[in-house]
């Protein structure tokens, strides 16, 4: 399998002198084409900083990022990002289909093809029929699906997702997780998804990279050997899932956090 993303010795420091803060510390890893890799780490450890460096939005203070072998020095054309906050990531004055085709304006793709790629991406996320509506006429979960469609419409080589399901309710979150796995398998997209939710990282990932507290470094790189066909109920109650989530939790928080909960007396 070919390597899609290579992160080599990436560090990021905010500020200089006494007030300098090292957010990311010499991270090295690679992601194969077609893989869905999750990064899990405590709040504030440097996950978004790392994604911004990979996306070419903010150059790392040291180290390099390569996408299919090319050094990343600005936002690559074939990279897309889904951010956490759907309510701030869509343009309220543009219809759903116009939001989805918006980033394609800067490509060489002609208008008609842009529209058909946007419609295709909306169909892939189960949103055919709402093309003409405005984002504010949709539920939060539907808006986040529009952001995912927008990211997929450009057929990116790499899709970066920063806590993409953190601001929706639990049921919608499950639906969006399943949607992502289905679309990713169908389209063979390479995905790097950041989350602080241990269960989500294990449920979604082919692989989970566990980060330390700030400054982030990799404490483990686990292969998730669960069956490719996953189900929110049976997968989550399988002994393999329970054991993997325990392993990630111990790596993140130490053994105490996974000790059995004491039953209240009474």
Ligand X SMILES: Nc1ncnc2c1ncn2[C@@H]1O[C@H](COP(=O)(O)OP(=O)(O)OP(=O)(O)O)[C@@H](O)[C@H]1O
| 156 lies in the site for ligand X, by CB under 6 A | no
Measured distance between the N- and C-terminal CA atoms of the chain, rounded to whole angstroms: 57
| 262 lies in the site for ligand X, by CB under 6 A | no
> How many angstroms separate the CA atoms of 209 and 223, rounded?
9
Q: What, of Mg ion, ligand X, none, does residue 76 touch, CB below 5 to 8 Å by kind?
A: none
> How many angstroms separate the CA atoms of 109 and 104, rounded?
7
Distance from the Cα of residue 200 to its chain's centroid = 11
The CA distances from residue 48 to 17, 31, 41, 205, in Å, are 23, 17, 10, 18
Quote the crossing angle between the two packed helices 170-187 and 140-153, to the nearest 10°: 20
The CA distances from residue 241 to 53, 69, 238, 246, in Å, are 31, 34, 5, 8
| 60 lies in the site for ligand X, by CB under 6 A | no
> How many angstroms separate the CA atoms of 157 and 67, rounded?
8
Instruction: Please report how close the Cβ of residue 81 comes to ligand X at its closest, in angstroms.
Output: 13
Tell me which stretch binds ligand X (CB under 6 A): 3-11, 38-46, 176-184, 229-237: 38-46
Q: What, of ligand X, Mg ion, none, does residue 143 touch, CB below 5 to 8 Å by kind?
A: none
* C-beta closer to ligand X: residue 47 or 150: 47
Instruction: Please report how close the Cβ of residue 1 comes to Mg ion at its closest, in angstroms.
Output: 29
Tell me which stretch binds Mg ion (CB under 5 A): 39-47, 175-183, 237-245, 256-264: 39-47
Tell me which stretch binds ligand X (CB under 6 A): 43-51, 177-185, 224-232, 251-259: 43-51
| 164 lies in the site for ligand X, by CB under 6 A | no
Q: How many residues bind Mg ion (CB under 5 A)?
A: 2
| 48 lies in the site for ligand X, by CB under 6 A | yes
Q: What, of ligand X, Mg ion, none, does residue 35 touch, CB below 5 to 8 Å by kind?
A: none
Is the separation of the CB atoms in 224 and 207 below 8 Å? yes
Which residues of the chain form contacts with ligand X (CB under 6 A)?
14, 21, 23, 41, 43-49, 196, 214
């Amino acid at each position: 399998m070919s390597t899609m993303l290579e992160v080599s010795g990436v560090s990021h420091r905010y500020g200089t002198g006494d007030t300098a803060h090292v957010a990311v510390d010499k991270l090295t890893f690679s992601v194969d084409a077609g893989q869905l890799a999750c990064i899990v780490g405590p709040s504030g450890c440097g996950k978004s900083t790392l994604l911004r460096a990979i996306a070419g939005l903010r150059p790392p203070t040291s180290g390099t990022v390569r996408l299919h072998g090319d050094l990343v020095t600005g936002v690559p054309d074939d990279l897309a990002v889904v951010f956490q906050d759907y309510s701030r990531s869509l343009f309220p004055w543009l219809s759903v289909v116009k939001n989805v085709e918006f980033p394609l304006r800067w490509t060489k793709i002609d208008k008609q093809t842009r529209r058909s790629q946007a419609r295709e991406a909306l169909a892939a996320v189960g949103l055919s029929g709402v093309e003409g509506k405005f984002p504010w006429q949709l539920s939060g979960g539907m808006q986040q699906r529009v952001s995912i469609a927008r990211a997929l419409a450009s057929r990116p080589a790499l899709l970066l997702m920063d806590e993409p399901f953190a601001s929706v309710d639990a049921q919608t979150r499950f639906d969006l997780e399943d949607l992502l796995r289905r679309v990713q398998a169908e389209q063979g997209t390479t995905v790097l998804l950041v989350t602080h939710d241990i269960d989500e990282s294990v449920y979604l990932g082919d692989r989970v990279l566990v980060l330390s507290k700030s400054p982030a470094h990799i404490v483990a790189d686990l292969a998730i050997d669960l069956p490719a066909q996953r189900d929110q109920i049976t997968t989550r109650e399988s002994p393999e899932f329970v054991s993997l989530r325990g392993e990630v939790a111990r790596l993140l928080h130490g053994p105490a956090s996974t000790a059995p909960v004491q039953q209240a007396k009474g």
